[in-house]
Structure 1
Amino acid sequence: MTRDGTVIDGLEVNGAITVEADDVTIRNTRVRGTPGWWGILQRQGHSGLTVEDVEIFGNGRERTQFGVLNQGVMITVRRANIHTISNGISTEQGLIEDNYVHDPKLYKDDHVDMIMSSGPPAKGTELIIRHNVAVNTLDQTSAIALFQDFGVVRDVTVEGNLLAGGGWALYAGAGAKGTSSNIKVIGNVFSRKVWPKGGFAGPVAYWDAHGRGNVWRDNAWEGGGKVTPE
């Protein structure tokens, strides 16, 4: 897709959608990802993709690694049902809201995250992850992950989500590249329905308690009780 402002509405897609344009909207669409890397991709150099009210899934036998992969700048993903993939949504910036990301598949050499960021957002942007249900039914890697693969994590809000499963339900942004900053983890609910500890190993790992602007507040177990970082 190469035309700015394109709107895709109400399609059944067998294969991948690759966006090489700005301000594209994909809505009310089902994407049956064929074997390969992604269901929907926004390429580097582009921005403004909106994905809403969609279902994205693999066939469960051959690997579809990403439901939504953002290599560009801003993206909005809302009310998506994403399943039967290795990684649900991958982006460093944008708005990820009201999605159901669940029931992943593990393929050789993959790690498995329902919503993930691999580094800091683009200059002048932030990442907001709110009101999602992220359920990783496997024992690795996460429901939500903020990784330092490509730099020190900053300017991320993780708020009002339901998290369950993976090795740790939440990877909270700490890492070897430096101290994370302005990470706000607020009002999330951690479920024991996949693993008794929330994740196979526990609810949360890699939290920088002393990072500038970092906030951990009102995070609780489903059914009651505070969740605190280890």
Structure 2
Amino acid sequence: MLAGASVLVIVGAIGVAYAVQRPAGEGGVDAGASASVSAGVSDGSSSVSGSPSPSGTKSPSATATPKPSATTRLPSSAGGPWPNASNTGVPAGTKLTTYSGPCQIRTAGTVIDAKTVNCTLEVRAANVTIKRSKINGRVVLDTDISGSSKWSYTLVDSEVDAGLVQLPAVSYGNMKVIRTEVRGGATSVQCGEHAISCTVEDSYLHGQRIPDDAAWHLGGFLSNGGKNIRIRHNYIFCSPPANSVGEGCTGDLNLLGDFATISDVLIDSNFLAAGTGMSYCLYGGDASSKPYPHADHVVVINNVFQRGSNRKCGAYGPVTGFNKNGTGNQWSNNKWDDGSTVPPEN
């Protein structure tokens, strides 16, 4: 997608609009912006208040708050609990100090460890690691920039709160997101069409935010085209209900062929939470109305779809746009949370 583009995209047969926006030079547009937010969400997320300091002045050290225990909304998987607030994010007991380094990272091999970061981190270097840290802002690697194919970052054991902003909390590729809790933004994690790779594992994506009168469309994970995407063992929930103008979530996990073909995607062992404010829990990358209508090598296996109050996961069903006959596509062992089989058709 071109920097500065603002595109209104229509997804699915029911005509749900997904607004795709990326301001020019967006990697730093909200650096230093206040992350003070109070927005009601349906999964019990608390509001976060932060007053970022552009100068990064040090403050007294803090200790990460002990994580709350899992709730009944977070059922156990066969291999242990699903990612949630108790087993993702900054490990309990970690002493955090205020980050005083640059918000635009240009030094290869940079490690940010045990910090409270009060700005958006823009990655423009290779092998950047952000770990055991709380980011009151966003984490961005803009894959539209020339030379970005050489940049990369790992975000691990951390917490991101993007606040109330119509942009993704974590983006746009060449990244690994591991055991991280992501809140805020219009989308929790977004992978762009120019990304070399995207991996999200053992993470908790929830608590997206929308003004009550805004025509935004939200999601847990979004790719508008791209390849080499790995989404493994995450709890993904597009949690806000529809707002006063009827806008809100598109789906938990959204693959949409807007800017490139969706290809080489693994969606394995995730929990897709139910919400009647979204159309479907999963968009599978195939839609005849799209510029790139046919996804290939999309493997969806071992996932659990929560039935929810209407027994459908989303308002209209669990999945749309998955072509079981597409080249290399596979749908296997996907279950409802009651153990029954979820077929690829609605």
1:91-170 equivalences under 5 Å are: 91-92=191-192, 93-107=197-211, 108-121=214-227, 126-137=228-239, 138=241, 140-164=249-273, 165=275, 166-170=278-282
TM (norm. structure 2) is 0.60
Q: Tell me the residue number matched to 1:67.
A: 169
Q: 1:27 to 1:119 in 2, by over 3 A?
A: same
Deviation at 1:196, TM superposition (A): 3.1
Are 2:191 and 2:226, in contact at CA under 8 Å, matched by a contact in 1? no
> C-alpha distance in 1, partners of 2:293/2:165?
33
Q: Deviations over 1:51-79 (max 9, x none)?
A: 111111144xx326221011x5x211111
Q: Tell me the residue number matched to 2:87.
A: none
Deviation at 1:127, TM superposition (A): 0.8
> C-alpha distance in 2, partners of 1:13/1:194?
38
Q: 1:195 to 1:48 in 2, by over 3 A?
A: farther
Structure 2 residue corresponding to 1:90, chosen from 182, 190, 207: 190
Are 2:285 and 2:293, in contact at CA under 8 Å, matched by a contact in 1? no
Structure possessing the higher radius of gyration over alpha carbons: 2
> C-alpha distance in 2, partners of 1:174/1:183?
10
Are 2:166 and 2:216, in contact at CA under 8 Å, matched by a contact in 1? no
TM (norm. structure 1) is 0.88
Task: Name stretches of at least 5 consecutive residues in structure 1 with no aligned partner.
Answer: 34-38
Q: Tell me the residue number matched to 2:53.
A: none
Q: Tell me the residue number matched to 1:40.
A: 139
> C-alpha distance in 2, partners of 1:42/1:193?
35
Task: Name stretches of at least 5 consecutive residues in structure 2 with no aligned partner.
Answer: 1-104, 243-248
Deviation at 1:81, TM superposition (A): 0.4
More strand by share: 1
> C-alpha distance in 2, partners of 1:110/1:194?
24
Q: 1:195 to 1:141 in 2, by over 3 A?
A: farther
**Residue 228, structure 1, aligned to residue 329, structure 2:** no
Partner SS for 1:227? coil
Task: Among all aligned residue pairs of Structure 1 and Structure 2, give the percentage whose two residues are the same amino acid.
Answer: 29
> C-alpha distance in 1, partners of 2:284/2:189?
16
Structure 2 residue corresponding to 1:80, chosen from 173, 180, 188: 180
> C-alpha distance in 2, partners of 1:48/1:188?
28
> C-alpha distance in 1, partners of 2:313/2:121?
34
Q: Deviations over 1:160-184 (max 9, x none)?
A: 0000233211001102323211100
> C-alpha distance in 2, partners of 1:115/1:30?
20
Partner SS for 2:217? coil
Q: 1:151 to 1:113 in 2, by over 3 A?
A: same
Match of 1:167, as an amino acid?
A: S
Deviation at 1:94, TM superposition (A): 2.0
**Residue 219, structure 1, aligned to residue 321, structure 2:** no
